C-alpha cells in the first residue's frame, strides 16, 4: 500500500515511521504542507498518491487550545475536514487520530464508541467537531480515539515525572482523573493493522487497563527504580486553563471487533523506559 502520514514529526508520527514496514510510506510535517491550506494538501496528495492517509497532525496543547480557540478550530477542525475533502478527491482512505477528550467524563464506566460526544474543553471540542465533519465527507473514514499518549522523543507525562522524581523527595499527582495510558509504539502498530484490515468508523485504541494519573506516576517511579514519594492530590489544587474529564477510560470493545488487543499499560511503560534508556 501507499501510505501518507500527516504529522510525521510528532510523537505518534515518529513511531509510525519507525514501525511501518512492508508498505510505501511517505511522512510529512507542517513544513511540507499546512493542513489549513486546501491547495497545499491537494498538491501533497497529488505527489504522494496515497491509498491511505493517516492524519496525526494536530494542535495538541490542551491548555494552549483554551487560550487560542481560533487556532484550535483552524487546525484541529477545519484542517482535518480539509484533509478529508482532499482524500475524497484523491480517492484515498483516511484514518484520523482523535481523543478521549471528546467526552465529558461524567460516565462512571468506560466509554463506548456510540456514547455521545460532550467535550468540556476547547481541544476536545475541536476534535469532536472534526470527527463529525470528517464522517460527513467520508462516511467510511476510520476515527481512532486514543488517550494519555507517551513515547520517546517528545513531551509526555513520564518524561515530566522522571526528572521531577529524580530531583525531589516527593511529588504530588492528582487522583481524580482516570484514563488509559497509551504507548506510541503500540498505538502505531495497531494503526498499521487497522489500515491493513480496511477499518472504518470509530475505534477506541489504548493500551489495556486504566489508572489515575497518581497511579500512573507511582508505577513510573517504581519501574524506574526511584525512591521519591508520590503523594495524592486533587485537581482543584492544580488549577489549569482547560478542564479535564474525571473519567476518560475508553472501552476496548470496538478494537476487539477487529481481532486486535493492546498490551497492558504497565508492560508498555517498561518497554518505554527501556527505549528511553537506549536512546539517551
Residues ≥6 apart with Cβ < 8 Å to 9? 27, 29, 30, 31
Instruction: Say if residues 45 and 88 touch (Cβ distance below 8 Å).
Output: no
The string of DSSP codes covering the chain is -EEEEESTTSHHHHHHHHH--SSEEEEE-TTT--TT-HHHHHHHHHHH--SEEEE------HHHHHH-HHHHIIIIIIIHHHHHHHHHHHT-EEEEEEEGGGS-S--SSPBPTTSPP--SSHHHHHHHHHHHHHHHH-TT-EEEEE-SEE-TTS--HHHHHHHHHHH-SEEEEESS-EE--EEHHHHHHHHHHHHHTT--EEEE---BS-EEHHHHHHHHHHHTT--PEEEEE-GGGS--SS---SB--B-SHHHHTTT--PPBHHHHHHHHHHHHHHT-
Residues ≥6 apart with Cβ < 8 Å to 40? 33, 34
Q: Which among 59, 101, 111, 123 is annotated as catalytic? A: 123
To the nearest 10°, report the CA torsion of 263, 265, 268, 269.
Answer: -170
* 123 in catalytic set: yes
- Give catalytic residue positions: 123
Amino acid at each position: 500500500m501507499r501510505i501518507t502520514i500527516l504529522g510525521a514529526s510528532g510523537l505518534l508520527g515518529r513511531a509510525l515511521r519507525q514501525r511501518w514496514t512492508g508498505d510505501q510510506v511517505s511522512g510529512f510535517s507542517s513544513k511540507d504542507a499546512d493542513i489549513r491550506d486546501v491547495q497545499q494538501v491537494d498538491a501533497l496528495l497529488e505527489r504522494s498518491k496515497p491509498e491511505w492517509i493517516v492524519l496525526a497532525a494536530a494542535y495538541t496543547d490542551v491548555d494552549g487550545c483554551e487560550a487560542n480557540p481560533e487556532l484550535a478550530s483552524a487546525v484541529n477542525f477545519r484542517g482535518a475536514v480539509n484533509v478529508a475533502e482532499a482524500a475524497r478527491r484523491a480517492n484515498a482512505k483516511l484514518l484520523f487520530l482523535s481523543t478521549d477528550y471528546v467526552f465529558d467524563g461524567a460516565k462512571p464506566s468506560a466509554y463506548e464508541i456510540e456514547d455521545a460526544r460532550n467535550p468540556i474543553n476547547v481541544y476536545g471540542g475541536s476534535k469532536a467537531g472534526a470527527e463529525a465533519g470528517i464522517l460527513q465527507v467520508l462516511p467510511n473514514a476510520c476515527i481512532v480515539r486514543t488517550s494519555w499518549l507517551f513515547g520517546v522523543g517528545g513531551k509526555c507525562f513520564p518524561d515530566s515525572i522522571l526528572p521531577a522524581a529524580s530531583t525531589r523527595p516527593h511529588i504530588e499527582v492528582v487522583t481524580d482523573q482516570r484514563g488509559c495510558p497509551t504507548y506510541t509504539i503500540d498505538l502505531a502498530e495497531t494503526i498499521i493493522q487497522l489500515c491493513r484490515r480496511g477499518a472504518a468508523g470509530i475505534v477506541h485504541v489504548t493500551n489495556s487497563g486504566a489508572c489515575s494519573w497518581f497511579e500512573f506516576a507511582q508505577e513510573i517511579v517504581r519501574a524506574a527504580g526511584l525512591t521519591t514519594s508520590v503523594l495524592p492530590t486533587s485537581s482543584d489544587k492544580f488549577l489549569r486553563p482547560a478542564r479535564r474529564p474525571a473519567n476518560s477510560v475508553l472501552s476496548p470493545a470496538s478494537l476487539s471487533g477487529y481481532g486486535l488487543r493492546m498490551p497492558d499499560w504497565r508492560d508498555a511503560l517498561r518497554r518505554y523506559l527501556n527505549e528511553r534508556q537506549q536512546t539517551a
